A and B are shown apart, each in its own frame.
Chain A
Amino acid sequence: MSEPIADFAVIGSTPLARLLAGRLAGSHGRSVLYMGESQSSYRLPRGLDLSVAPITRPESWAMLRQGIGETVKLIGRIAGRGAWSHVDPLFFAGDPATAEALGHMRHMALGFGIAAEPAAPTMPVAHRSGIVLRDALRLNRPIIEPALDQWLEREGVRRLAPEGVTIAEDGSAVLQAGGARFEARQAILADHDAILAHLPPAQWPVLLRRHPASCILTTPARPLPTPVMLEIQSGITLLQQNEGGIAAIGLQDMASFSGRIQLLLGRDRQVEQAGQTSFSALATSDGAPALGRVGTVGADVVAGMGMAGAFLAPALARWLCGEASPFEADWFGARLVSRAPHGPSVAEYAPHISGTAP
């Protein structure tokens, strides 16, 4: 039995993917199929959602500042006050070039009204410099994920757990679920796992690179200087969990990562591993987001949005429906996944980006 053809099939597990699906259906009246697992309550984290990010371009900061209010209001309505916590993330660096990038990030944050201070000399252990961004919001995935799933249902999003997904060159999708066939005019691969799993290799954009990535959870250790720390030259994120453990996430294979984490946390922390996982992640060759249709006609991808991507979901939904403001349209338009390597630069700070095409 065939179902009516939906406008979009959104595939992805992150809050960004869920918010995008819900907005497309609820605010823009599109019919939406959604496929994404709810894993944050039992799997190790592979990313975080933070209202600040190590970005250097003013238009990106402006987009983020616009998106925060709208997204927080939406999430508060969906999941309540426990959906986020206030944190003072610390970005730190160990070499001169990265320290310069930190300076640009700090002044950009100040320019957009975020209190950003140089870190006290003792804060980033064994590192030369750091900045603390005050009063950022960190979304609590285990709390908001089930609430977002209920919200999707209320918004009329049809949730599927398909046995098979086929994405055509024109970007349309066919999903087989429970013996039924579901079609959508346009597939949106809304996070890295979705892109890695479902984007046909023949359509792979040159901009995207696959990286080995790892997460290690430690047993409770001496608290970090702040609950969120990001070593920006390596991209390693350290998260102090509510129960005292430290989750470390980074774009390195497990063998390298484990040693690096021991060095970062220092010998004076009594650290044992309480969990570990390896996975694949994506990075763009210029460190900037990559959005829109692959090859200009294929599936939509959402890649390289970094830790602040969830806060851009409402704007992304508007852009995908052709209802974006001129500023939003310019920002997304400059960051198309099909952008020319030698076109106008939108590069962000992105050291050691290499990786391989799949």
Chain B
Amino acid sequence: MRPQLNRLDKDQAGNFSGSFIDRSRPLRFRLDGRLVSGFAGDSVLSAVMASGIDTLGTYRDVPIALGPSANPAIRLAGRADEPQHALPMARTPAIAGAEFVTCGIRRSNPLARLFLPGRTLGLELDEPHALDRPWRRLAGTPSASSDLVVIGGGVAGMEAALTAARAGLSVTLVEASAQLGGHSGLFGTQEGEDNPETDMARRRDAIAANDAITALTHSHAYAVRPGLVRIHRVEVKEGKPQGSVLDLPARHIVLATGALERLPIFAGNRLPGVIGTSDAHALASRYGVWPGEAAILATGSNVAYRLAILASDAGIAIGRILDSRPNPSSRFIAFSRAYGMVQTPGAAPRSAGLIKAGGTLSVHTDQAGTEPMLTGRLLVCGGWQPDLTLWHLAGGRSRWHGRHHRIEAEGGLDGIALAGSAAGYFTRRGCIESGQDAVNALLGRPRAPVQDPVIDPIHESPDAPATITEPPDDAAPAFLDSGREFLQRPSPPPRSWTSIFRRRPPRNGLVALSEAPQPLAIGDVAAGVDLGLIPPDAAGIVAQERVALVPLLPPTATIPPPEDEAVAEPVPSYLEGRFGGDAVLVRIVPAEPRRLETGALIYRNSDAANPLQAVGVVLRPDGDAALALMHRHISRAGLPVSVRDQGRAIAARIESPEN
């Protein structure tokens, strides 16, 4: 059995004790035959990570981190490898006694898993469909209609649901995790605000007490159009987790999908041990999972300092905080100084590398003359990007905002409104008010301006763009985003012949983002802008163009049948005028028994082979002869001609003009 190496001790964990788990109810299950221990309330992913497994597998021989942003589908052992049995590792509750297997792993040797190193799931991520979500190929089961579907159970989504319910609407609230609440806990409080946990709990209780709101947790929305949302939901029935795809009809839809954390671009930015602050906070606050006892932070955002403080409160040693901004200021920075954390402004990681299989990272910075730092964990934050994935799927437009370094929504959609961080708001107050505003906008009610009181930049430095550092030679790959698509920084190919004699091949095969065969996550597109691969003006259209669309046909639409078969015309239009305006149809008989092919060209003699000199063409077989179109002046009966067919000159004669 795997001990829970990475579970924080409850008595010392503070805010990281794990609000989703019940430590009084331990459980065990198997994944790919390995015994994993956890607690009631764990997801399969959190229990696996608590047990010390932090590696998905390898991509081009480089290990890749396992985490909330990138994890595989699983299924119960014994069930067929069919889409309806696939379950998301992060949304599937850990069930005592269950036996799970990961889906779609291509192993050359079936015995290989017996010899896997302890940290890895052993996926071969070079396989394009390794992290597929097979349920996306299933049709949805129609579900009961509601007046409003809210996607996202953070503070904005919860406030939208409560506002709509108060207005007399029936509401379905869709949340991917096991509980409503979202990620406000990471962002702390501003003056006049409640503690985020208190705020979330109050709204959660209000929703639970409101019969007009149906909250669907463990549910992920992945397709949307005006009037319809498709979700994948995991439920536990008779002690077993089951997935289902549901189509939720609704007159109105609120997208409160939050913000995604950008990944700084440096070599080794997805190695095991490297994790975004949002994922790290979610694992710690919900499940008490935190690998290792020490960490380094690399950020351009103040939020990471709050994570450092919370981690320090939980007994984690924060060795250093690298901040890409030269003179950052924030209340969180002041607090972290008070905690004695060493800060290095104007610095970013240049590369990370694994120095031993057990998982110690070596982090090189972009500052000249500095020694590499050793750490068990590198927490990174490249800023925040509104999650507009569903907005783009629904047909919404967006544009690059230069000052905010991110893609923001613009324009509107019938029956669909954005709220919260997805709508571009920065503060908790802004997110809450925007939840109310989204409902008011959808219902055509009077709207009040949304207050989003961002603290003066003198006191709270704005987020910097995600850092980009040039990778050293032979370093691990640099990825553009931390999601399930492994999009590396493209490398232009060498131009000259001499390049084939150079030792080093291009870092990866991708020469342009347009060649990438995977959907581009919105973080990939934002990174593309930062890298100069996508002009800022085109960011919105590229993000919309490269979103992973699951077509939702309107009720009246069906897949069109194949085109009616066209009937061959006697003389097709593309042959008109080819042999003069008065060309004639003739029967032509080969001198040897054979079938003359359609399109075979007819010449006056066997020496000619230039199509420009052809005097006719075979239209189609006609018994033992063929019908041909020819110049009128050489269409006399009995005239010998030559047909060029299959590379040979075939003697033939004109039998009779057809008229």
Whether the pair A263, B575 counts as a contact (CB closer than 8 A) is no
Given known contacts A142-B512, A272-B548, A345 and B576 CB-to-CB distance under 8 angstroms: yes
B599 within 8 A of A: yes
A268 at interface by CB-CB < 8 Å: no
Best-buried of B533, B575, B600, B611 by chain A (most CB within 10 Å): B611
B569 and A287: CB pair below 8 A? no
Question: What 1/0 mask marks residues of chain B from 126 to 144 whose CB sits below 8 Å from any chain A CB?
Answer: 0011001000110000000
Q: A43 with B129: in contact, given A56-B574, A104-B574, A104-B617 (CB under 8 Å)?
A: no
Chain A residue at smallest Cβ distance from B647: A110
**Interchain CA distance A143-B136 in the complex, whole Å:** 34
Contact A42 B598 (CB under 8 A): no
Whether A100 contacts B598 by the Cβ 8 Å rule is yes
Indicate whether A58 sits within 8 Å of B517 (C-beta atoms), given known contacts A43-B538, A273-B549.
Answer: no
Residues in B with CB closer than 8 Å to A348 are 574
Report B384 CB to chain A, min CB distance, Å. Answer: 23
List the A residue with the shortest CB-CB distance to B610.
A111
Q: Please name the residue on chain B nearest to A44 by beta carbon.
A: B545
Contact with B along A70-97 (1 / 0, CB 8 A): 0000000001111000000000001111
Give the chain A neighbours of B518 by CB distance below 8 A: 219-220, 245, 274
Instruction: Note all chain A residues with C-beta closer than 8 A to B600.
Output: 103, 107
When A42-B538, A263-B562 are in contact, do A243 and B612 touch as well, CB less than 8 Å?
no
B619 shortest CB reach to chain A, Å: 7
Tell me if A226 is interfacial: C-beta within 8 Å of chain B.
no
Q: Which chain B positions have C-beta within 8 A of A244?
A: 128, 517
Q: When the two chains form their complex, are residues A263 and B519 in contact, meaning their CB atoms are under 8 A apart?
A: no
A31 to B311: give the CA distance in the assembly, Å: 66
Q: Do A107 and B563 touch across chains, with their CB atoms under 8 A apart?
A: no
Closest residue to A346 on the B side, CB-wise?
Answer: B577
Q: How far is the CA of A346 from the CA of B578 in the complex (A)?
A: 8
Task: Check A119 for interface membership: any CB of B closer than 8 A.
Answer: no
Residue of chain B at shortest CB distance from A115: B647
Cβ-based interface call for B501 (8 A): no
A41 near B512 with CB under 8 A, answer yes
Chain B CB count within 10 A is highest, among A39, A100, A287, A345, for A100
Rounded to whole Å, the gap between the CB of B499 and the closest CB of chain A is 9
B residues less than 8 Å from A82 (CB atoms): 493-495
Q: With a CB–CB cut-off of 8 A, which chain A residues contact B610?
A: 111
Asked if B601 contacts A111 (CB within 8 A), the reply is: yes
Closest to A38 in B: B535
A98-124, CB under 8 A of B: which get 1 and which 0?
111111111110111000000000000
CB contact between A258 and one of B511, B551, B569, B575 (< 8 Å): that residue: B551
Please, how many residues of chain A have a CB less than 8 angstroms from a CB on the other chain?
74
Tell me whether B565 and A96 are in contact (CB under 8 A): yes
A233 to B609 alpha-carbon distance, docked (Å): 29
Cβ of B371 under 8 Å from chain A:
no
Which single residue of chain B is at the shortest CB-CB distance from A252? B560
B599–A287 contact, CB under 8 A?
no
CB interface residues, A 261-282, toward B, < 8 Å: 262-263, 270, 272-277
Please pick, from B557, B565, B568, the residue contacting A100 in the complex, using a CB distance under 8 A: B568
Residue ID in chain A nearest B538 by CB atoms: A42
- Chain A residues in 8 Å Cβ range of B520: 275
Please indicate the chain A residues that have their CB under 8 angstroms from the CB of B545 in the complex.
43-44, 275-277
- Write the nearest CB–CB distance from B88 to chain A, whole angstroms: 16
Instruction: Answer whether residue B573 sits at the interface, using C-beta atoms and an 8 A cutoff.
Output: yes
Distance of A357 from chain B, by nearest CB (Å): 21
Compute how far the CA of A147 lies from the CA of B619 in the bound complex, rounded to whole angstroms. Answer: 45
- Residues of chain B within 8 A of A259, CB atoms compared: 558-560
| Minimal Cβ-Cβ distance residue in A for B578 | A57
A243-B510, A256-B560 in contact; A220/B128 too (CB < 8 A)?
A: yes
Contacts of A104 in B (CB 8 A): 574-575, 598-599, 617
A220 to B538, CA, bound (A): 25
A260-B560 contact given A57-B574, A62-B612, CB 8 Å threshold: yes
Chain A residues with CB under 8 A of B560 = 256, 259-260
B614 within 8 A of A: yes
Q: B513, A41: Cβ atoms under 8 Å?
A: yes
Within 8 A of A (CB), among B92-139: 128-129, 132, 136-137
At the interface, yes or no: B1 with Cβ under 8 Å from chain A?
A: no
Interface residues of B in 504-551 (CB under 8 A from A): 509-520, 528, 533-535, 538, 541-542, 545-551
Q: A27-55 toward B: CB 8 Å interface, digit per residue (1/0)?
A: 00000000000011111110000000000
Decide: A42 and B514 in contact? CB cutoff 8 A: yes
Bound-state CA distance A44–B513 (Å) is 9
Hey, which chain A residues are within 8 Å of B559, CB to CB?
259-260, 262-263
Is B551 touching A273 in the complex (CB atoms < 8 A)? yes
* Least distance between B48 CB and chain A CB atoms (Å): 26
Decide yes or no whether A332 CB sits under 8 A from chain B: no
CB of A143 within 8 A of CB of B519, answer no
Whether B567 pairs with A107 at a CB distance below 8 angstroms is: no
Q: Does B597 have its Cβ within 8 Å of any Cβ on chain A?
A: yes
Cα distance A47–B104 when bound, in Å? 34
Name the residue in A95, A287, A348 with the highest tally of chain B Cβ atoms < 10 Å from its Cβ: A95
Assess whether A328 is interfacial by the CB under 8 Å rule.
no
Is B566 positioned at the interface, with any CB of A under 8 Å from its CB? yes
A142 and B514 contact, Cβ closer than 8 Å, known pairs A101-B574, A263-B559, A344-B581: yes
B288-309 CB contact bits vs A (8 Å, 1 = yes)? 0000000000000000000000
Flag whether A204 is at the interface (Cβ < 8 A). no
Please, which residue of chain B has its CB at the minimum distance from the CB of A96? Answer: B568
A347 to B519, CA, bound (A): 40
Q: Does B230 contact A (CB under 8 A)?
A: no
- Cβ-defined contact, A286 with B644, below 8 A: no
Across-interface contacts of B511 in A (CB, < 8 A): 142-143, 242
The answer to whether A166 has its CB under 8 Å from any CB of chain B is: no
Chain A nearest CB, measured from B339 CB (Å): 43
Closest to B541 in A: A43
Say yes or no for A255: interface residue by CB 8 A criterion: yes
Contact between chains at A344 and B515 (CB < 8 Å): no
- Residue A325 interfacial (CB < 8 Å): no
**Bound form: Cα–Cα A218–B576 in Å:** 39
Question: Cα distance A256–B560 when bound, in Å?
Answer: 6
Q: Is B399 part of the contact surface with A, judged by Cβ < 8 Å?
A: no
A203 within 8 A of B: no
Let me know if B620 is at the binding interface, CB within 8 A: yes
Contact of B557 among A80, A241, A255, A275 (CB under 8 A): A255
CB distance from B399 to the nearest CB of A (A): 15
Given A42-B538, A243-B517, A277-B545, A80:B572 Cβ within 8 A: no
Assembly CA distance A104 to B559 (angstroms):
32
User: Of A58, A98, A99, A234, which one neighbours B614 at CB under 8 angstroms?
Assistant: A58
Whether a CB of chain A sits under 8 angstroms from the CB of B496 is yes
Q: For the complex, give the distance between the alpha carbons of A103 and B619 in Å.
A: 9
Please measure, in the bound complex, the distance between the C-alpha atom of A6 and the C-alpha atom of B514, giving whole angstroms. 34
Q: Does A133 contact B (CB under 8 A)?
A: no
**Complex-state Cα separation, A274 to B518, whole angstroms:** 5
Q: What mask results when residues 636 to 652 of chain B are scored 1 for a CB within 8 Å of chain A, else 0? A: 00000000110100000
- Residue A217, interface by CB 8 Å: yes
Which positions in A face B, CB cutoff 8 Å? 39-45, 56-59, 61-62, 79-82, 94-108, 110-112, 142-143, 147, 217-220, 233-234, 241-245, 255-256, 258-260, 262-263, 270, 272-277, 286-287, 344-352
Chain B residues in the interface with A (C-beta under 8 A): 128-129, 132, 136-137, 493-497, 509-520, 528, 533-535, 538, 541-542, 545-551, 553, 557-560, 562-563, 565-569, 572-578, 581, 597-601, 609-612, 614, 617, 619-620, 644-645, 647
16 contacts between A and B (CB under 8 A): A40-B514, A43-B538, A57-B578, A100-B620, A102-B599, A104-B575, A107-B597, A111-B610, A217-B517, A218-B517, A219-B518, A220-B517, A242-B509, A242-B515, A272-B548, A274-B519
- In the complex, besides A58-B578, A242-B511, 5 extra interface pairs with C-beta distance below 8 angstroms are A43-B545, A57-B578, A61-B611, A106-B599, A272-B136
**Closest 8 A-B residue pairs measured CB to CB?**
A245-B517, A259-B559, A103-B598, A103-B599, A111-B611, A220-B128, A107-B599, A142-B512
